[in-house]
Amino acid sequence: MKREQGTEAELRADSSSRSVPVLPLLLSVAVGILSGIGSYTFSYAKGFSYFSTDPRACVNCHIMQSQYDGWQKASHHQSAVCIDCHLPHDLIPKYLAKSENGWRHGKLFTTGGFVEPITVKPAGREILEQNCVRCHAALTAEIRGAEGVGAHDTPGLRCTHCHADAGHGSRTGLGGPLGTAELDSLSKHEPHPPRKAP
């Protein structure tokens, strides 16, 4: 009887040492599946292109095609690419903004939650304004004045409000519609007289 018990105990010990733990196996399979899906998605979305400065990276997503086409015809085509206007120029803020934009764009595009026509969000507008002022420092210094007030003594008036067509041609939602105060102000001003030829 002792011999049988010993054999039975040995068999149990033998079978338990041969069993594969289920949790690590399931975890490995899950990590493998997620890695595969992530790699495929990154490849399909041309993920590495977003680390470049090539404006064609912005049209990987079809929703940006009209902005890309407009930029090719606009005044800044010869002097600036997308990241010159839409991202900070310092290394860490640039990649933080790229990460936030990439996450938000990917999430909205994947879930179908984006709104057309697309518009620049408040953080992006601030970056855009800083880059306008930085590139056009000599001109904007005179307009903004010593106190840093916006053009026409209107605090908060952004460059893109009047110059919405500078980067992408026709108005692309950067400045938005004129407010009541702006419309009233415009109605009080006489149009400029036509210039005479010299």
> pTM for the whole thing?
0.61
- What is the DSSP annotation of 42-75? HHHTTGGGGGS--GGGGGSSGGGHHHHHHHHHSG
CB–CB of 143/173 below 8 Å?
Answer: no
| Confidence (pLDDT) at 193 | 43
- Pull the structure tokens for residue 151: 């053009």
Residue-wise pLDDT tens digits, 115-157: 877 788 889 999 999 999 899 888 877 776 655 555 455 667 7
Other beta carbons less than 10 A from residue 166's beta carbon: 17
| Confidence (pLDDT) at 195 | 41
Instruction: Please tell me what DSSP assigns to residue 81.
Output: -
- Mean of the per-residue pLDDT values of the chain: 75
Between 61 and 197, the more confident residue is 61
Alpha helices in 63-90 (DSSP H): 65-73, 82-86
Report the share of the chain in percent with pLDDT over 70. 68
Residue-wise pLDDT tens digits, 156-180: 778 888 887 788 876 544 444 555 6
User: Using 50, 70 and 90 to split pLDDT, how confident is the model at 186?
Assistant: low
User: Using 50, 70 and 90 to split pLDDT, how confident is the model at 92?
Assistant: very high
Residue-wise pLDDT tens digits, 68-80: 888 888 888 888 9
Between 145 and 84, the more confident residue is 84
58-175: CATH homologous superfamily? Di-heme elbow motif domain (1.10.3820.10)
Question: Would you kindly state where each structural domain of the chain is located, as residue ranges?
Answer: 21-51, 58-175
| Confidence (pLDDT) at 196 | 46
